[in-house]
Amino acid sequence: MRLKTGDKVIVIAGSNKGKEGTIKKVLRNENKVIVEGVNIVHKHQKGNGQETGGILDIEAPINASNVMLIDPKTKKPTRVGVTIDEKTKKKVRISKKSNEKFD
């Protein structure tokens, strides 16, 4: 999985298709991501002594295959590749469309 927390993504499949947001959390073992403002579900929370109960709106995880990174140059969805940086000799994620590095 080539997604990281803080990446700007767009949903490409499912009921939330076309929505954009940033990744809040990556669940690598389940191959899922939680995207801010996408896949909102209602959770019924029972109150305890200190907090009141109610219905909460939270983001549910979606499969990582249903999101694509947004190219930093063209602002459109793109596939991600990995190359080795010449200076630091470390792996760097790049956009397949524009060959721009992701921060």
Whether residue 34 contacts residue 25, with contact meaning beta carbons closer than 8 Å, is answered with yes
Mean pLDDT of successive 10-residue stretches along the chain, which has 103 residues: 93 95 96 96 93 93 96 92 91 91 81
Identify the CA nearest to 25 among candidates 59, 72, 76: 59
Q: Where are the domains of the chain?
A: 1-70, 74-103
Q: How far is CA 46 from CA 42, 51, 58, in A?
A: 13, 9, 15
Alpha carbon distance 80, 71 (integer Å): 9
Whether residue 91 contacts residue 84, with contact meaning beta carbons closer than 8 Å, is answered with yes
Instruction: Report the topology of domain 1-70.
Output: SH3 type barrels. (2.30.30)
Q: Is 21 exposed, middle or buried (0-12, 13-18, 19+ CB in 10 A)?
A: buried
